[in-house]
A and B are shown apart, each in its own frame.
Chain A
Amino acid sequence: MSGLKGKRILVVEDEALIAVMVEDMLADFGSIVVGPAATIQAALALAQSEVIDAAILDVNVRGERIDPVAEALFARGVPVLFATGYGEVRLLNGAKAVVIDKPYTKEKLALGLTRGLGVEDPVTPS
């Protein structure tokens, strides 16, 4: 889990139960959770102020598209992992982003994050 250990991961998720599960998964990787944010506004604030190595973004947060948050992160060069139930996501131009389908397993999340972060050490199930 060396690749993700100590990384600061922003989590944006409006469903509390899912957010808790993601926090648990990240904790298992040894990552540090930034957030989780349940609104676009809160997410934006974190995206602009916190030190962030990567972000897991729900595409639709309380009926609003995640785009402003993604743009803020892209502007900072932060790799983004979109988690979506839509099946497919229209990505912003030139964005460095990975998409995983909801629901996802811990393994899938780890794979997505390492790919997004460019870490060459894929996580194996512990």
Chain B
Amino acid sequence: MRSPLVRSGDSARPPPFSDMAAPYRENRTTHLETLYRLTDRFYRASDMQSVLRAAMDAITEGLGCAKCSILLFDSGDVIRFVAWRGLSDHFRQALDGHTPWKPGIAEPPPIFISDIIKSDDSEFVKTNICNEGIRSLAFIPITSQGRVIGKFMACYPAPHHYSEASRTLAVTIARQLGFGLERAKIEQARIDSLRDLQDSEQRFRLMAEKAPVMIWMSDAKGNCLHLNEMLRRFWGLDETGVASFNWQSTVHPDDADYVSARMSAVTERRERVSVVARYRNSAGEYRILETLAHPRFSSDGTLMGLTGVNTDVTEREYAVKALRDSEEHFRLVVEAAPSGMVMTDGEGRILMVNALCERLFGYERGELLGRPVEVLVPPDSRGEHPSLRSRHVQARPPHLLTREVMGHHKDGRSIPLEIGVNPIQTWEGLRVIATISDIAERKQAEAQRELLLAELNHRVKNTLSVVQGIAYQTFRHSDRAAREAFEGRLLALARAHDLLTRSHWESTSLRQIAIDTLQIEKPDGQRITAEGPLINLNPHAALTIALALHELFTNALKYGALSQEAGSVDLSWRPEKAAGKLRIEWREHGGRPVRHPTHRGFGSLLLEHTLARDLDGRVELSFEPSGAVCIIEMPLSEQGGPACLG
């Protein structure tokens, strides 16, 4: 049950007027005084209790009754006692909720009951009223904005006559009370909302104070009004030191002009501004703070000051600077690279070129950036380039591709280039880096070398031809066999030269020497097999081995296995790594039985002596029933030397 707002008759708080009926003299002057006092007290009343108390004073005084009460509809539309005088708890409980009017009806008439005994009220009501010592009573509706919100009751112990003047006064008091209650309600709402506002402001102040960022307020001149806890800690201040704190003195001298220029921009242009600068903290260390400052205006548009938030971005700025430095290093390295460099995205669009690349192709970089890399490819191979490119970048795992290609200069020339293309996956997506070298000079040098080698070969062979001519004349009328043997040796030498020319006088494979010397690829060369791993011979060893094989071959053709239908030759070689030797075996099968010749011809000499000496090796020539066997051993090394493993 709702407790009454005003309870008169409490011993602790006697009402201003006695409950005992004061000598009552009804006249207009008293009524006006009552209304005047009531109006004055309503005017001063700051809460509901004062309004109700003033109203009850006016009722008892103006209407001359000792018992009275005020009842209002509650939020459930049940009428409740909110203030009373001289009424028992029992009476109030019995009559709580009893009303002649429904809530909200418009302007109901007041009810004056001169004698309750004679009224047509219910026996319950009559009994309760009589038991309270009441014989006459008036119910005056209280309205607010034209609607009934409650009533007040004036009670008399004896049958009472209600004069016209007292009825008017009662209604006037009720009307005033309606206004007073309305005003008190509005005032209460205002007080409540003000308290809410204060609570909310208090909460925000607390949040700002404890927030993990630095928050501040300044006045229009830039003096500190408020710094939150974190900012005070940054500068080592307590709250009392805020007002006199000169924050400008903590700005790094190099940043001071910039900061003050930016801050005045806020006040002049009246827009928010972001400033990054160095400030000295309480430890004397400079930290980089990013400040976001908003101007604050009064309702008439006057600048009140700034409100801002500072964030310590020292680590972030250092990281950004480190990144910027590393990007700058990268750019410098690329620009200074001794080869042209192009970077494209996965679709082949040019994202970056360096200075050397500009020079190689004759373009300014602005002309290349964003264009497809095919602009650097000669028109005749431009069409197939995108598919080659995408095949390479999609290959897994990604790998460096090196090749010699032609490039397309801006002036239309084709330029010989060597390119190395490497796809790399970055956080921005696929990137393809190509390094480009101009190999025109190298190509020219290579051509020059080829030319010189061809010329050398030509001269050597011309000389050999001349030697052949001399021999032709020398042997013309004497020994034809000797001439042919000589010619054969000369031609073997010439063939070995050809082979060396083809391999640029670097090294030649033993197999190739065997194939050329023994004419294995000819249809009738099938009778000779040559088997062994890849062994490379240096030019000197190649010439010597070629001559030795030629001797063995011609000997086999004339006297050995190859002079017989069924004869054959097995040539094989194998490295003996542990001994560091190469072992070459010539083994004839199905030949005529031959004896070791008593005459030591050039062939034996070449094989047994020259070969052994030239190659620092060992030659063992034997004539077995099945045919000749020749075993050649020569030094073998991993690389370099007369013979090495391929």
Contact = CB atoms under 8 A, between A and B. Distances in A.
A60 B458 contact: yes
B461 A21 contact: no
A114 interface: no
B465 to A, nearest CB: 4
A86 B465 CA distance: 13
B257 to A, nearest CB: 78
B470 A86 contact: no
A87 B457 contact: yes
A84 B455 CA distance: 11
A15 B462 contact: yes
Given A17-B466, A17-B473, A20-B473, A85 B459 contact: yes
Given A24-B472, A85-B462, A87-B454, A103 B491 contact: yes
A17 B469 CA distance: 5
Interface string A12-44: 000101111100100000000000000000000
Interface in A73-122: 84-87, 101-105
B476 interface: yes
A102 B473 contact: no
Given A18-B465, A18-B466, A103-B468, A86 B457 contact: yes
A105 B530 CA distance: 26
A17 B467 CA distance: 8
A104 B464 CA distance: 10
B461 A101 contact: yes
Contacts of B473: 17, 20-21, 24
A87 B496 CA distance: 12
B334 interface: no
Nearest to B487: A105
Contact of A105 (B457, B469, B491, B501): B491
A102 B469 contact: no
B352 interface: no
B206 interface: no
B458 A103 contact: no
Contacts of B126: none
B490 interface: yes
Contacts of A84: 458
Contact of B494 (A15, A60, A86, A101): A101
Nearest to B501: A87
B160 interface: no
Contacts of A104: 491
B498 A87 contact: yes
Interface in B6-44: none
A21 B472 contact: yes
A15 B465 CA distance: 9
Given A87-B501, A87-B502, A101-B498, A21 B458 contact: no
Contacts of A103: 461, 464-465, 467-468, 487, 490-491, 494
B108 to A, nearest CB: 130
A87 B470 CA distance: 22
B460 interface: yes
Nearest to A59: B458
A104 B491 CA distance: 7
Given A102-B464, A102-B494, A24 B457 contact: no
Contacts of A15: 462, 465-466, 469
Contacts of A86: 454, 457-458
Contacts of A85: 457-462, 465
B472 A102 contact: no
Contacts of B487: 103, 105
Contacts of A101: 461, 494, 498
Nearest to A19: B469
A81 to B, nearest CB: 15
Nearest to B488: A105
Contact of B469 (A21, A60, A87): A21
Interface string B433-476: 00000000000000000000010011111101111111011001
Interface in A43-90: 60, 84-87
Contacts of B454: 86-87
Contacts of B468: 18, 21, 103
Interface in B472-519: 472-473, 476, 487, 490-491, 494, 498, 501-502
B294 to A, nearest CB: 84
Nearest to B456: A85
A119 B236 CA distance: 114
Nearest to B458: A85
Nearest to B464: A103
Tell which of A17, A86, A101, A103 has the most Cβ of chain B within 10 Å.
A103
A99 B382 CA distance: 39
**10 closest A-B pairs (Cβ-Cβ)?**
A85-B461, A17-B469, A85-B458, A21-B469, A103-B465, A21-B472, A103-B468, A102-B465, A102-B461, A18-B469
22 contacts: A15-B462, A15-B466, A15-B469, A17-B470, A17-B473, A21-B465, A21-B472, A21-B473, A24-B472, A84-B458, A85-B458, A85-B461, A86-B454, A86-B457, A86-B458, A87-B501, A102-B464, A102-B494, A103-B464, A103-B468, A103-B487, A105-B487
Given A17-B470, A21-B473, 20 more contacts: A15-B462, A15-B469, A17-B466, A17-B469, A18-B462, A20-B469, A20-B472, A60-B458, A85-B458, A85-B462, A85-B465, A86-B454, A102-B462, A103-B461, A103-B467, A103-B468, A103-B490, A103-B494, A104-B491, A105-B487
